[in-house]
């Protein structure tokens, strides 16, 4: 799950991550939500990792406190990878966080 301020700016990054996963033959469910939709989405979907867009990375500790005991890693997306919409690197970041749970 990617989180940004309005849920829109990450949509292109989601597409690029999905393409990178498809090329690698990895089946994934990548989606973007606004910060306001986090609680509802976590109730409705099985989320394995939560990545924060640069504009909401200040919310990391607040989000982590909501996830205590849920074993869902939270991390900000590298600003350069986000700015370049580097789907491969952000996918790698998500997979690394899932592997390290």
4 catalytic residue (yes or no): yes
CB environment 81-92: b (16+ within 10 A), e (fewer) = bbeebbbebbbe
Q: Quote the crossing angle between the two packed helices 87-99 and 11-24, to the nearest 10°.
A: 70
**Which is the catalytic residue, given 4, 21, 35, 51?**
4
Query: Which residues pair with residue 50 across a beta bridge?
Result: 74
Give the H/E segment covering residue 2: strand 2-4
Q: Do the Cβ atoms of 51 and 77 come closer than 8 Å? A: yes
The catalytic site residues sit at: 4
């Amino acid at each position: 799950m990617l989180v940004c301020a309005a849920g829109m700016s990450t949509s292109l990054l989601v597409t690029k991550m999905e393409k990178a996963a498809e090329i690698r033959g990895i089946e994934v469910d990548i989606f973007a939500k606004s910060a306001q939709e986090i609680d509802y989405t976590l109730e409705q979907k099985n989320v394995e990792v939560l990545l924060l867009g640069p504009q909401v990375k200040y919310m990391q500790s607040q989000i982590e406190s909501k996830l205590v005991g849920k074993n869902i890693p939270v991390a900000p997306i590298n600003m350069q990878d986000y700015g370049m919409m580097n789907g491969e690197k952000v996918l790698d970041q998500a997979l690394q966080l899932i592997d390290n749970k």
